[in-house]
């Protein structure tokens, strides 16, 4: 009898989609094929050569398929295989096994030892199954191996129908175990492999039968101490008990019917149906596992998506579970980052660009609740990012924005057409655009290689001042020269008295402009334009640091609202003045005088 189950569950945020999970490529395999084979490999190219493999003498031998194999008669499963079969990306086709009660294990291999390795091979089934009467009460059916003692299955696939049935006429154990790849396995591992088609296990009893009952799984019917990595099943699973007097459990799982071990980065999408027409017991259908048994089971980064249905016996239980239907009392189960899609609360994040030609946006989609989502907005040439908006609410100024999903949201990345490509600060964008449109930024300062956020030079500030002056007053015809520069803008500004040298007939044109120098030049420029700024004393906490020759100009630009402080009521007179600050104060002076 199965017990109610509890698990240790650690669910980190997961995107509710399947792009990171394994899927078969065009050649039918999940993983790339390693074409390296040993020099003493035994090559197989015909059905007869395949059938000639003697499992009892296979230890240490390496068998390689030279081509696809097409079987033409019922296959006799190979017993006691202990070697390596390397399909090299080929397939074995038309595998047909459907025998009476004289066979207990069915598959390409009836049985395989812990040293056996099966890799890089696909098996296309015609019919694979066993119908057992009184000779055997336990049958194991798998596309590759009926009963495994710990074999490794690497980069393999199975397609087709698999069935296992037992007809129990007296009181006894009834255990058909059927799996897409392996019927029953004690230990071992399955990596980069999958199964597609259908898997069926059934028991028909004419009297009482007790214990485990039929089990079926998309990859394995019953796996104890098994490791499954990067594998999947898209097979439908059906498990049934037909006898009215049965006292057994009917167990089906998308990956495994009965299981202990580890499942990592794997999934199952097929429907799982368990039907029990007996008296006592349980009918169990699990998205990944029907029943976990005593021992440790760890499920990590895996999911299930198939429909689940259980019909219980007359006095028993019908159990379903998105990942696991039931467990025994000694099972220790840990689930991390795994789910059934029907159990997942998802939200949709819709992202758009406005205008659509302003840039591109990425990161939207459907996500599990609590997922950390990263949105990315990338402006096109001539545009700049303005922010992420939810309606009219600007929710983030950052083009790369990360947040946790808790609801459906429609978010808009807004872009602003910027007629210049210079790197600049978001806070300065509007006034910079106004200055550009007013023709106040000289061509010498336009270009993606000129960063508006860096310090302006004394000569560059002259270029800005000349552009503003001549925009209003017309061309400056006079010149005042300096020994260290032939810059015409410097000569013009010196001629109308806006700038002076630094001594010895030098101007030092490449020196960074300071804030107090900028304030003084702005004041003198207003005078040159015939509209002097009102006189007012500077009112900053660091007035004492302002040079005496700049004190009047600083007070004037502060009073006019052309220049403000840097915070904490400080002017920072000796700090460098950036290009964007220089341009912005020019447009502000332009607005004042015009």
Residue 116 pLDDT greater than 70, yes or no: yes
Residue 169 pLDDT greater than 60, yes or no: no
Q: Strand 246-248's sheet: what is its strand order?
A: 172-173, 209-211, 246-248
Residue 164 pLDDT greater than 70, yes or no: no
Nearest to 383 by CA among 419, 356, 429: 419
Q: d(Cα 270, Cα 344) in Å, to the nearest integer? A: 18
Q: Structural domains in the chain? A: 8-342 (2.160.20.110), 345-417 (no CATH), 426-593 (no CATH)
Q: What is the pLDDT of residues 195-209, one digit of tens each?
A: 998 888 877 765 545
Looking at residue 4, what is its pLDDT? 34
Q: Is the pTM of this model over 0.75?
A: no
Phi then psi for residue 505, to 5 deg, are 60, 30
Looking at residue 423, what is its pLDDT? 87
Looking at residue 138, what is its pLDDT? 55
Could you give the 3-state DSSP secondary structure of residue 567?
strand
- In the structure, what pLDDT confidence band is assigned to residue 245 with cuts at 50, 70 and 90? low
Looking at residue 465, what is its pLDDT? 95
Q: What is the gyration radius of the CA atoms in the chain, in angstroms? A: 39
Q: What is the pLDDT of residues 206-242, one digit of tens each?
A: 554 555 678 999 999 999 999 999 999 999 999 988 7
Q: What integer is the mean pLDDT of 274-303?
A: 90
- In the structure, what pLDDT confidence band is assigned to residue 300 with cuts at 50, 70 and 90? very high
- Look over the chain and give the mean of its residue pLDDT values, rounded to a whole number: 87
Residue 247 pLDDT greater than 70, yes or no: no
Residue 172 pLDDT greater than 70, yes or no: no
- In the structure, what pLDDT confidence band is assigned to residue 126 with cuts at 50, 70 and 90? low
Q: d(Cα 391, Cα 407) in Å, to the nearest integer? A: 15
Q: What is the pLDDT of residues 512-531, one digit of tens each?
A: 999 999 999 999 999 999 99
Looking at residue 7, what is its pLDDT? 38
Looking at residue 3, what is its pLDDT? 35
Q: What is the pLDDT of residues 331-373, one digit of tens each?
A: 999 999 888 888 767 789 999 999 998 899 999 998 877 788 9
Is the Cα torsion angle 91, 93, 99, 102 positive or negative in sign? Answer: negative
What the block records as the tokens of 478 is 């006079």
Residues 6+ away with beta carbon under 8 Å from 43: 64, 65, 66
Q: What share of the chain is helix, strand, coil (3-state, %, to 5)?
A: 15, 45, 40
Looking at residue 51, what is its pLDDT? 96
Nearest to 333 by CA among 553, 1, 2, 9: 9
For residues 239-270, one letter each, b for 16 or more C-beta atoms within 10 angstroms of the residue's C-beta and e for the rest, the string is bbbbbeebbbbbbbbbbbbbbbbbbbbbbbbb
Phi then psi for residue 197, to 5 deg, are 140, -120
Looking at residue 406, what is its pLDDT? 87
Q: d(Cα 43, Cα 297) in Å, to the nearest integer? A: 39
Q: Give the CA dihedral 224, 16, 231, 254, nearest 10 degrees.
A: 50
């Amino acid at each position: 009898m199965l017990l109610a189950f509890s698990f240790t569950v650690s669910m980190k945020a997961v995107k509710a989609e399947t792009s990171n999970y394994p899927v078969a490529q065009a050649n039918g395999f999940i993983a790339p094929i390693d074409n390296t084979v040993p020099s003493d490999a035994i090559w197989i190219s015909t059905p007869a050569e395949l059938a000639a493999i003697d499992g009892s003498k296979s230890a240490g031998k390496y068998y390689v398929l030279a081509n696809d194999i097409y079987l033409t008669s019922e296959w006799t499963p190979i017993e006691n295989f202990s070697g390596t079969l390397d399909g090299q990306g080929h397939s074995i086709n038309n595998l047909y096994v459907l025998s009476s009660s004289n066979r207990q294990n069915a598959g390409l291999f009836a049985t395989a030892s812990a040293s056996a390795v099966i890799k890089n091979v696909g098996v296309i089934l015609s019919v694979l199954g066993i119908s057992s009467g009184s000779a055997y009460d336990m049958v194991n059916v798998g596309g590759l191996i009926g009963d495994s003692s710990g074999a490794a299955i690497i980069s393999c696939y199975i397609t087709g129908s698999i069935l296992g049935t037992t007809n129990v006429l007296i009181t006894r154990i009834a255990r058909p175990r059927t799996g897409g790849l392996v019927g029953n396995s004690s230990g071992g591992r399955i990596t980069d492999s999958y199964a597609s088609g259908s898997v069926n296990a059934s028991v028909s009893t004419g009297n009482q039968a007790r214990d485990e009952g039929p089990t079926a799984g998309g990859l394995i019917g019953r796996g104890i101490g098994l490791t499954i990595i990067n594998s999947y099943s898209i097979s439908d699973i059906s498990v049934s008990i037909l006898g009215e007097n049965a006292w057994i459990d009917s167990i089906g799982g998308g990956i495994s019917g009965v299981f202990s071990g580890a499942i990592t980065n794997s999934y199952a999408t097929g429907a799982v149906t368990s039907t029990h027409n007996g008296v006592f017991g349980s009918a169990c259908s699990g998205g990944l596992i029907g029943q976990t048994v005593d021992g440790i089971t760890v499920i990590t980064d895996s999911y299930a998506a198939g429909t689940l249905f259980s019909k219980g016996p007359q006095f028993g239980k019908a159990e379903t579970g998105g990942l696991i239907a039931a467990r025994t009392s000694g099972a220790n189960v840990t689930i991390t980052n795994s789910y059934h899609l029907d159990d997942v609360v998802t939200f949709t994040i819709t992202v758009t660009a406005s205008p659509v030609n302003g840039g591109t946006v990425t990161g939207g989609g459907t996500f599990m609740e609590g997922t950390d989502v990263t949105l990315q907005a990338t402006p096109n040439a001539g545009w700049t990012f303005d922010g992420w908006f939810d309606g009219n609410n600007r929710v983030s100024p950052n083009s790369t924005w990360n947040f946790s999903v808790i609801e459906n949201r429609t978010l808009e990345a807004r872009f602003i057409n910027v007629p210049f490509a210079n790197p600049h600060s978001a806070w300065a964008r509007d006034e910079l655009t106004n200055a550009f449109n007013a023709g106040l930024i000289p061509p010498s300062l336009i270009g993606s290689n000129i960063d508006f956020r860096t310090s302006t030079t004394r000569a560059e500030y002259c270029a800005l001042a000349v552009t503003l002056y001549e925009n209003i007053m017309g061309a400056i015809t006079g010149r005042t020269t300096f020994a260290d520069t032939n810059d015409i803008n410097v000569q013009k500004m010196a001629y109308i008295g806006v700038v002076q040298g630094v001594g010895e007939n030098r101007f030092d044109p490449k020196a960074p402009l300071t804030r107090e120098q900028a304030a003084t030049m702005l004041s003198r420029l207003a005078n040159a334009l015939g509209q002097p700024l009102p006189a007012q004393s500077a009112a900053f906490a660091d007035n004492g640091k302002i040079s005496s020759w700049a004190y009047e100009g600083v007070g004037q630009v502060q009073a006019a609202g052309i220049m403000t402080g840097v915070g904490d009521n400080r002017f920072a007179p000796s700090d460098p003045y950036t290009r964007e600050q220089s341009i912005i104060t020019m447009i502000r002076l332009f607005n004042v005088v015009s």
